[in-house]
Structure formats: C-alpha cells, structure tokens
Amino acid sequence: MGMTMTQKILAAHAGLDSVKAGQLIQAKLDLVLGNDVTTPVAVKEFNKMGLTGVFDKKKVAIVPDHFTPNKDIQSAEQCKLIREFAYDKEIENYFEIGEMGIEHALIPEKGLVVPGDVVIGADSHTCTYGALGAFSTGIGSTDMAAGMATGQAWFKVPNALKFVLTGKPTNKWVSGKDIILHIIGMIGVDGALYKSMEFVGDGINHLTMDDRFSMANMAIEAGGKNGIFPVDEKTLEYVKEHSTKEYTVYTADEDAEYDAVYEIDLTTIVPTVSFPHLPDNTRRIDEVGDVKIDQVVIGSCTNGRIEDMRVAAGILAGKKVAKGVRVIVFPATQKIYLQALKEGLIEQFVQAGAVFSTPTCGPCLGGHMGILAKGERAIATTNRNFVGRMGHPESEVYLASPAVAAASALTGKITNPEDIA
C-alpha cells in the first residue's frame, strides 16, 4: 500500500523507507516553535533537565504574540522570561516587538518553513504551514522543551482524509476561509480527529497562498493532526520569494490509503458563517437571518494577511461603519502593516471608522484589545468561537471571512458583501 504526502514526509524524517497509519515513530525536526503563552512552561521544563543549549540555534523560533504588546505585569514577566532564555541560548529566530508578527504568518514570511519540513509548535494552529507542503502540527509545552533539546519528537503516524477540490469559485467573495468553514461544517469539529487533512484537485489552482494558509490553519478546528496541500508553482514562487532553505517536494502515491474521500465543488461554495459556539455550526450567508453585532475583528493568524486587508479595506473604502459598532483591524505582521500603509489601506480603514492595530493575537483568545462584555456579539475573521473565547462567557463570536466581516461592519448586522453597493 502506498503512502500519503504526510506519511512520506514522516518516513523520511524518521529514516524509514515507509510508515503506516498508527505506527509510532521518532522523527527529526526542522523547526520548533513557541509563543509567549506556551514557551515559559517549556523553558521551565527545559531548565529542569539541566540542559545548557538547544539542539540548533537556527531551528528554534520564539514569537511573543498572544498578550503583546504586554497587557499587564504577568504577561510582561512571561515575555521577560522567554526573552532572557532566547538571548542566553543565542536563539537566532526570536522576534521581539517591532519585528514580531502573529507567529503563523511570520514564520512563513521569514522563510523558516519550506516544503517537506517537519515542524512542531506549542500552539494548535501550527498546522498552518501545511499550505507549503510541510508536515506541521501543534504540541504541548513539554514536547516543545524536548524538541528544543533533542531536535526530535515522537509521533503516531496519522490516518488521512482526502479532500478533492474541483472547479473555480463563482462567487467573487468566496475565499479560503469560506471553503474551510464549509468543510468543517460538513464533517464536524471531530471529523478529522488525529487525521491528516490532505487537499488535492484542480480547484487548488484557483486558491492563492493566502487562501491555503487560511485553510491549513483551521484543520485543527476539525480535529485534524495536520492539513497539507500539494506543492505547485504558486507554492514554489512563494518559497523562492521568502526562503533560501533547501526543500524536498513529496507527493502522495496513487494507491495511498484514505479513511474517506470528500468531493468539494468550489462552484457551489458561498460566503459562510460559523455561529456560536463551535466552528462546525455553519450557515450559508443567505441563511444567516438578522444577527446584530457589537464588534468586528479583522485579522489573526487565519485572516490577517495582505489579501485579507485589501478585501476588507475595499469594502469599507469611502463608507462609514455603523453607529455603535467597534471595528478593530489587526495585520498579521509588521511587513503586512507596512504594505497596507503603502497601499493606503490603513487610511481607508481609519476614515471608515475602524481602529488599525499593531500585529497581535489580542482578542482572538480573549487576551486583550477587543474583549467582549456580557451579551455582546462579535463577527471575527479568527478561527474559534467557543464559549468565552473572546471575553465574557455570555458573549458570542461568529466566524467569517474578511469580506463578510467588513460588510457587516457597515450595517451593524451580519451581511452578505453582495448587498453592499
């Protein structure tokens, strides 16, 4: 029996000719990642081991992005701890305020992940890098500590699901966010539990890299171990622009085994919204009804890239957000911030009545800069809408694309972008 794309990558990094689903392996790592929430725990475990250095100063990355700029004394102390650790261990890829970004946008932008890599990160959305044809997955802080020390990690080789994307979206407002919300709504939040979500088909040709990052990012919301895309010309163009690392392109065998195969006709996808309190509680935009909102959040590791900024600013340009609606925009990295400035997007956001913020995970996890009060509703381009995710347990978060979020900002209720003149 042949191997899937994920299985081939894992086999190569384990020094094996082949692996099969369920097999336990020890694989070499190309990158170990942590942030300001998870790294402090990893550092403490690392120190307990009595270790003096990391396995490779170039293959560890630490990004303080969740509660930064520091929102309080505790977050400041956490960042101080990891800053001192990074300096002491001479970690090259430590990204402080001013050069930082939201980790899952910053890491690809810096060229730290390329096709064929194996990446672990102490953050569940580490699966984002599957957009580049890499195996990347979230792990716990203790595993991060072990990974920093040894450059290796244990894995159970995942089973796989195949998603065959066909056709080209006919609705001009449909993005990768709508496609992945549609898929999660179809299979459920546990539909890919500890499985590799492998996206294939000619429909991928019509997806930008930003679309793919958004989709791979949310594989975890279906319970996936990882999400992964085949490497094509768009992937290689991105890699050429951002990285000088050597890479290996892996392709799935024709006789690879999948637990299920799903056909997704992109011509049928429309803007999609996830209702509280799970990402799989999805509805087509024409099924939403009258849902008033108090806040709009545009950004995050899912939808804070330059295409997202362009789409949202284009809808808001020359208009005003609805009275009483707070609109907060978070570019995912400093580079994206500068590009938005260069293109005049920031001016469009501010003139429309939005706030344009520094890169941060901020409100996505109920951290800071956009916390919801009791009874408030937000529509957000983030990735989770669990109870209390963005603030008070009795608040509500609706997940959507930047287009839907921006359109909703203008009306004060969840709105189809097609309805905005």
Confidence at residue 421, expressed as pLDDT on a 0 to 100 scale? 60
What tokens were used for 69? 């700029």
- Residue type at position 100: M
Confidence at residue 144, expressed as pLDDT on a 0 to 100 scale? 95
Confidence at residue 367, expressed as pLDDT on a 0 to 100 scale? 81
Q: Is residue 20's pLDDT more than 90? A: yes
The CATH superfamily of 5-264 is Aconitase, domain 3 (3.30.499.10)
Cα(82)–Cα(302) distance, integer angstroms:
25
Confidence at residue 67, expressed as pLDDT on a 0 to 100 scale? 87
**Residues 372, 378: contact at Cβ < 8 Å?**
yes
Average pLDDT score over the chain: 94
Residue for token pair 């400035």: 341
What tokens were used for 278? 């799970």
Sheet holding 260-265, edge to edge: 226-228, 195-200, 159-166, 260-265
The CATH superfamily of 272-419 is Aconitase, domain 3 (3.30.499.10)
362 sits in the region (left: phi over 0; alpha: psi -120 to 50; else beta) called left
Higher pLDDT residue, 1 or 288? 288
- For the ranges 93-107, 168-182, 301-315, 353-367, the lowest mean pLDDT is seen at 353-367
Q: Is residue 387's pLDDT more than 90? A: no
Residue 364 has φ and ψ, to the nearest 5°, of -55, -45
Digit-coded pLDDT (tens) for 71-124: 889 989 999 999 999 999 999 999 988 888 999 999 999 999 999 999 999 999
Residue 363 has φ and ψ, to the nearest 5°, of -70, -20
Residue for token pair 């209720």: 413
- Give ranges for CATH 3.30.499.10 in the chain: 5-264, 272-419
DSSP state string for 249-291 = -----TTB--SEEEEEEGGG---EEEPTT-TT-EEEGGG----
CA distances from 9 to 15, 79, 111, 115, 411 (A): 10, 34, 19, 9, 47
Per-residue confidence band for 192, with pLDDT thresholds at 50, 70 and 90: very high
